Every structure is written in C-alpha cells, then in structure tokens.
Amino acid sequence: MNTVFQKPETLTDVQMHYCPGCTHGIIHRLVAEAIDSLGVREQTVGVASVGCSVFAYDYFNCDMQQAAHGRAPAVATGIKRVLPESIVFTYQGDGDLASIGMAEIVHAAARGENITVIFVNNAIYGMTSGQMAPTSLLGQKTATSPRGRTVEEMGYPIKVCELLATLDGPAYLTRVSTHDSRHVLQAGKAIKKAFEIQQQKKGFALVEVLSTCSVNWGMTPVNALKWMEENMVPYYPLGVYRDVTAKEGN
C-alpha cells in the first residue's frame, strides 16, 4: 500500500477553527497542495485577511502576514515589490475583497500586480454571524436582509470575475466551486495554475472559489453543498474569465 493522500506540508498541525463542513478547510488544503506541488513553500509569504479566514496565518505553514480588513492586496503589493522573487498570495472572503476592499483588489488587478489572490465567495459575512454580503443572492435571507435581499433596497450582487475581466491588467481570472469532489479537484488545478502564473511572472491571478456557510445559511453541511450548486452556480457561472497563457497556445 502506498500513501496517496495526506496532509500537505504547507498546512500546520493546528486544527482549523472553521465550523463543521465549512469549505474554507478544503480551499486551505488546495492552496497548501498547490504550494507543495510547486515546491515554493520556503519562498512563499501569505496574507490573511479579516473575516472567517482571519486566522489563516495559523494554518499555512509558511511566512504569513495578517492584514487589515480589505487591505490584503495592498499588503501583498508591499511585500511583492520589495521581495520580487517571493511567491505572495492573499486569502480573502467576499466581504473583505468585494466590499471594504474593492479599491485594493481593483487596483492590484489593474496594475497586473504579480500576486495570487484566493477569493472565497460564500455569499455572506460568516465571522460576524451572517450579515448580507456584496455577493449575497437576490432573495437571500441574512441577519441584515431578514426579508430577503431586494434590488430596490440593496441592489445587485457583485460578480467579481466579470468585473475584473473588464480590466487589461489581470493575467488569470477564473471561478470554480467546491460543491462536489469533481469540482474540488478542478478548483485545485485552477489554484495551482494561479500560483504558476505568478511563478512565471505573468501577473495578477485570481481564483474565485464558491464556498458554503452552512451555519449562517441555516442548513446542514451536505444540504449547503446542494444549495450552492442550485443557487450560487447559476448566478456565478463557473469558468475561465481571463487566461493569458491560453493566448500563447499553452
């Protein structure tokens, strides 16, 4: 018998604080596996954000910085510009990236900043107990949209990949999902590619990963995967929104 699956080296032994079934844990592992497979753990600096992933610095077994709410792309820029040979990634949720941090992510993308952004979209503020997020779906009930999100009151959810795809700066933009094992494997490939793009100094790479929040959505972890597949995937279409390597025929 050979070991064919085990904890990646780039995850620490600290038990993650996430709620049962939270796909943050899966996405953490995919990031760690990507770093392991490229052999860049010793040159990687990760940037944790604010939200449920605020403690990410405890889980990734590499140098880490903890950033203020929404500012991770600016912090990552500061690091990458003085350590251009390092591998720098941010790990941000939807409130952090698409609400308070909108200026930072748009400008990092527009500059073509050579960093990797892991954007976890679960359509809600998890850490602060379930408020409406910029990516909450129309009709979605949250602590601050108790009768459901309406266009009249709260406007439309923000589609980050589509928004950033209007810019010339990004090298790689893709949206993936974690609702079943096939999609998780695809997400892992996308995340690995987003690190390779940086390694090859091709510029800004962002992977939007659709994710669950079963506790704040008010359902079991298994049902949350189903809800995500049936409600989030149709509104946030999966796929590649920018890939400069495709142009090169790779």
Partner 1 sequence: MAKVLMKGNEALSEAAIRAGLKAFYGYPITPQNEVPAYMAEHLPLRGGVYLQAESEVSAINMVYGAAGAGARVMTSSSSPGISLKQEGISYIAAAQLPCVIVNVVRNGPGLGGIQPAQGDYFQAVKGGGHGDYRLIVLAPGNVQEMADLTTLGFDLADKWRNPVMILSDGILGQMMEPVEFSENQETVKVEKPWATTGAVNRERNVVNSLDIIPETAEKNMTALLAKYDRIKEEEVRWQEDNTEDADVILVGYGTSARVARSAMELARKEGLKVGLFRPITLWPFPEQRLRELAKPGRKFLAVEMSAGQMIEDVRLAVNGISPVYLSNRLGGMVPTPEDVLKKTRDIVEGRVN
Partner 2 sequence: MPRGEVIVNSELCKECSLCVVACPQDVLAIGKAINSKGYHSVEAVAPEKCTGCTLCAVMCPDVVLTIRRKSPERK
C-beta of 182: minimal distance to partner 1 in Å? 33
Tell which positions 105-144 bind partner 1, by CB under 8 A: 106-107
Window of 54-62, 135-143, 156-164, 182-190 that interacts with partner 1 by CB under 8 A: 54-62
Per CB under 8 A, the list member of 27, 32, 62, 228 interacting with partner 1 is 62
Rounded to whole angstroms, the Cα distance separating 128 from 136 reads: 15
Per CB under 8 A, the list member of 16, 138, 158, 244 interacting with partner 2 is 16
CA angle at residue 179 from 178 to 180, to 5 degrees?
A: 95
Per CB under 8 A, the list member of 74, 184, 191, 194 interacting with partner 2 is 184
Per CB under 8 A, the list member of 18, 57, 91, 119 interacting with partner 1 is 57
- Measured in degrees and rounded to the nearest 5, phi and psi for residue 59 equal -105, -30
Question: Token pair 């400069």 is at which residue?
Answer: 244
Stretch (H or E) spanning 196: helix 181-199
Window of 19-27, 96-104, 112-120, 144-152 that interacts with partner 2 by CB under 8 A: 19-27
Select the binding partner of residue 177 from partner 1, partner 2, none (C-beta < 5 to 8 A, by kind).
none
| Sign of the torsion angle spanned by Cα atoms 192, 228, 7, 116 | positive
Q: Is the Cβ of residue 4 or residue 82 nearer to partner 2 in the bound state? A: 4
Rounded to whole angstroms, the Cα distance separating 51 from 49 reads: 7
Select the binding partner of residue 146 from partner 1, partner 2, none (C-beta < 5 to 8 A, by kind).
none
Rounded to whole angstroms, the Cα distance separating 152 from 147 reads: 13
